[in-house]
Amino acid sequence: MRKLLLIVSLLFLSVPLHAAGTLDIYFIDVDGGQSTLYVSPSGESMLVDTGWPGFNGRDATRIVAVAKAAGVTRLNYVVITHFHVDHVGGVPQLAELMPIGTFVDHGQSIETGKAADDLYHSYVEVRDRASHLIVRAGDRIPIDGIDVKVVSSTGQTILHPLPGAGQPNSFCANVKPRELDPTENAQSVGMLITYGKFRTIDLGDLTWNKELALACPDNKLGTVDVYLSTHHGLAASNNPALVDALMPRVAITNNGATKGGAAEAMHTIHNCPGIEDVWQLHYARNASKEDNAPEPFIVNVDQDASVGWIKVSAAADGGFTVTNSRNGMTKTYTPRP
């Protein structure tokens, strides 16, 4: 643990704190789980998911280190996309290290059994000590300085297109529904986050059929600048009808070395229209070299390594930069015409 903290501390020395006038997003490596920190230009913060429990508080420690480097001492909102251990498991440990204002979720877990019940109740014990907001598709999470629109929750998706969207989606033609997903994944709270002309999307672990509902026959979401791979880049998600319609300039894959980063999904992401670059938290062993990003765009190339983050810093004009914490590589993407 001391070695990990030293590495994290050294990495932060070359990374600037949150800059006024930008939306800063940190995709934190939690070994194939999810934890993404949004810092609004107003200074308010939203953490989406908290990674795994255990490991001597590994994921909570990483989140707190990134938050402090971003100038965040209190999490205004913690959004739990769904009640799976790699998303909600880290809540109790995180709450011991950092104050949390409001928890946001879809309500009651639909999964039962000892493991699912224990996981949910350990979360509820912490959630009940703070404010709590249940969201449904169409709601907004009230963060000053950015627009956070909930596009999916409780297995439902928005019924009507967002402003500027709603065009017929030609990418639907060859994509068929799959078997219904009865798990928490399909209940995921999915969000479209907008700052000025910049748009990014986080759908948690939303699965194939729910993605299809957002994309077909009409694209209800429009396009985005940055796409966070859904479900860690698994083939049960990343429906090409949706990914292609979103036309992201950049994709971020929050995979682990052996979790997520599936060949089918990675191929979809790397070949979607308009894509300029894919950035990854880990080299994906489950995909070919061609469907992995080039080495400078990957945080953890060494399969035994596991530390760091990808940072996106977005301006209101739609331009943004992406930085790899491992090597300090930064690439700037100018606003779309």
Domain CATH for 161: 3.60.15.10
> 184 in a domain, yes or no?
yes
> 146 in a domain, yes or no?
yes
Higher pLDDT among residues 210 and 13, named by residue:
210
Q: How far apart are CA 67 and CA 15, in angstroms?
A: 12
> 322 in a domain, yes or no?
no
Whose CA is closest to 131, among 105, 94, 159?
A: 105
Mean pLDDT across the stretch 74-88? 98
Residue 13's pLDDT band (cuts 50, 70, 90): very low
Count the domains in the chain. 1
Mean pLDDT across the stretch 45-69? 96
Q: How far apart are CA 333 and CA 68, in angstroms?
A: 26
Provide the pairing of β-strand 45-48 with 36-39.
antiparallel
Tell me what pLDDT residue 10 has.
Answer: 39
The CB density around residue 161, as the number of other CB atoms within 10 Å, is 15
Indicate the pTM of the whole model. 0.93
**Model confidence at 115: pLDDT above 50:** yes
The angle that helices 58-69 and 2-12 make with each other, rounded to 10 degrees, is 20
What element of type H or E holds 17? Answer: none
Q: What is the pLDDT of residues 207-242, one digit of tens each?
A: 999 999 999 999 999 999 999 999 999 999 999 999
> 327 in a domain, yes or no?
no
Q: How far apart are CA 188 and CA 165, in angstroms?
A: 22
Mean pLDDT across the stretch 162-189? 97
Q: Are 158 and 214 in contact (CB under 8 A)?
A: yes
Q: How far apart are CA 282 and CA 285, in angstroms?
A: 9
Q: What is the pLDDT of residues 150-173, one digit of tens each?
A: 999 999 999 999 999 999 999 999
Residue 337's pLDDT band (cuts 50, 70, 90): confident
> 260 in a domain, yes or no?
yes
Could you tell me the residue range of the domain that residue 195 belongs to?
A: 2-316
**Model confidence at 305: pLDDT above 70:** no
Tell me what pLDDT residue 65 has.
Answer: 96
> 186 in a domain, yes or no?
yes
- What is the token pair recorded at 124? 């509820």
- What is the token pair recorded at 221? 């979401």
> 296 in a domain, yes or no?
yes
Mean pLDDT across the stretch 243-250? 98
For all residues of the chain together, what is the average pLDDT? 93
Tell me what pLDDT residue 259 has.
Answer: 92
Residue 5's pLDDT band (cuts 50, 70, 90): very low
Whose CA is closest to 247, among 273, 216, 279, 214?
A: 273
Q: Cα–chain-centroid distance for residue 284?
A: 17
Percent of the chain whose pLDDT exceeds 90: 91
Phi, psi of 117 (to 5 degrees): -65, -45
Q: What is the pLDDT of residues 285-297, one digit of tens each?
A: 999 999 999 999 9
> 331 in a domain, yes or no?
no
Mean pLDDT across the stretch 75-89? 98
